[in-house]
Amino acid sequence: MHPLNVNQRVCGRRRNLTEFRTFQVATLVLVGTICAATIVSPAQNPPLASTSAVTELVSSLAEPFKHLKAKSVVVLDFRGADGKEGPVGKWLADQISVAIEKQFAKLQTIPRSQLGIENSSIVSTDPDALFLMDVKQARAVGADVYVTGNLAKISESQIGLSVTIVGLKELEKTHETRTAIIPISKDIANLSTEPIPGLDLERGIPRAGKGGISMPICTHCPQPQFPRNQTKSGVVKLEIVVTTDGRAGTVTVVTAPTPEMAASAVRAVQTWRFKPSLGFDGNPIETIVPIECDFQVP
């Protein structure tokens, strides 16, 4: 059984994104919607030039391409922290597409000019809808693998970028992600007068799956027990902080049908273990993750 991918609404349909498991008692659906301080390690190396950073990022795609047995790949437009496409995301996608073609000569890199423009006016930020559009675009040009991503401005001189590699034959599996810090070059700065969206932070902690922050992967997720003396189904919504060591830190109950269901969900989630989200420098970071526990009457 595959590990639960917390979110991921960055990478697939609702089932594929979250890779949720249906239990006899409860269905756990981990939903999400793919910096300064703790998001970038203080001990990081000096920043690379934009082109060098892109080249290094593309080099790290060799393993996922090999795992997926990729034959043809297309790079889709990257989205900002607000979930929308923009000139910086398009420019970075262009650079990464060119770098893939140079570094992986045996791999067919489908020109981005072949991508349709029908999505340019779509403003939906629903992760499931965006995923379906990405899959449709990739299939339309004959790709068997596509690269997508999201970005956020993390300082006056840097962009954080997270890319996801998706195999169209393995949509239900957890998708590989890679992160990078991209210096804001003059080329990037001159692309638009509009500001690059920054990260959505709460209490100094970013939300997973947004603005270039990857989603944690739940590796040990025991089901909550259906409370005794309960006769109706219901959904408990939680928000948890996944710590750098892969544990559930602060657990907040957002909504719950009954106190008993809330208590059962919290007890279960507190035992979960994760592969934590990664910051742009590749080091683990704390992230906020929404979770739904769907209790069904046995």
**Greatest mean pLDDT range, 7-21, 34-48, 67-81, 276-290:** 67-81
Element (H, E) at 235: strand 234-242
Quote the DSSP letter at residue 195: P
| CA 39/CA 160 separation, integer angstroms | 9
Q: CA–CA separation, 97 vs 91, rounded Å?
A: 10
Of 27, 29, 32, the closest CA to residue 19 belongs to: 29
DSSP count for the chain of H helices, then E strands? 7, 15
**Predicted confidence (pLDDT) per residue in 200-235, tens digit:** 788 888 888 777 787 888 899 998 999 988 889 999
- Is 3 a residue whose pLDDT tops 80? no
Q: pTM higher than 0.85 for the full model?
A: no
Taking only the tens place, the pLDDT of each residue in 169-186 is 988 776 888 888 899 999
CA distances from 225 to 4, 112, 238 (A): 18, 49, 16
57-113 pLDDT tens trace = 999 999 999 999 999 999 999 988 777 888 999 999 999 999 999 999 999 999 999
Per-chain mean pLDDT for the chain: 80
Are the CB atoms for 30 and 16 separated by under 8 Å? no
Residue 24 pLDDT class (50, 70, 90 cuts): very low
The 3-class SS string of 211-233 reads: CCCCCCEEEECCCCCCCCCCCCC
- Which domains, and CATH codes, for the chain? 4-35+214-295 (3.30.2420.10), 43-199 (3.40.50.10610)
pLDDT at residue 8 is higher than 50: no
Indicate whether 243 pLDDT > 70. yes
Q: Do 289 and 239 meet the contact criterion of CB atoms below 8 Å apart?
A: yes
Percentage of residues in the chain having pLDDT higher than 70: 80
Joined tokens for residue 57: 């990022």
Across residues 35-63, what is the average pLDDT?
Answer: 69
The C-alpha atoms of residue 130 and residue 125 are separated, in whole angstroms, by: 7
| Residue 170 Cα distances to 13, 65, 104, 218, 262, angstroms | 12, 13, 21, 19, 34
Backbone angles phi, psi at 278, to 5 degrees: -110, 140
> Residue 7: exposed, middle, or buried by beta-carbon count in 10 A (0-12, 13-18, 19+)?
buried
Sheet order of strands, 248-255 included = 21-22, 26-30, 287-295, 234-242, 248-255
The pLDDT of residue 11 is 29
What would the pLDDT profile of 144-156 be if each residue is shown by its tens digit?
A: 999 998 898 988 9
Task: Give the C-alpha separation, 15 to 13, whole Å.
Answer: 5
Residue 11 main-chain phi, psi, to 5 deg: -130, 5
| Contacts for 250 with CB less than 8 Å, ≥ 6 apart | 240, 241
250 token code pair:
């602060």
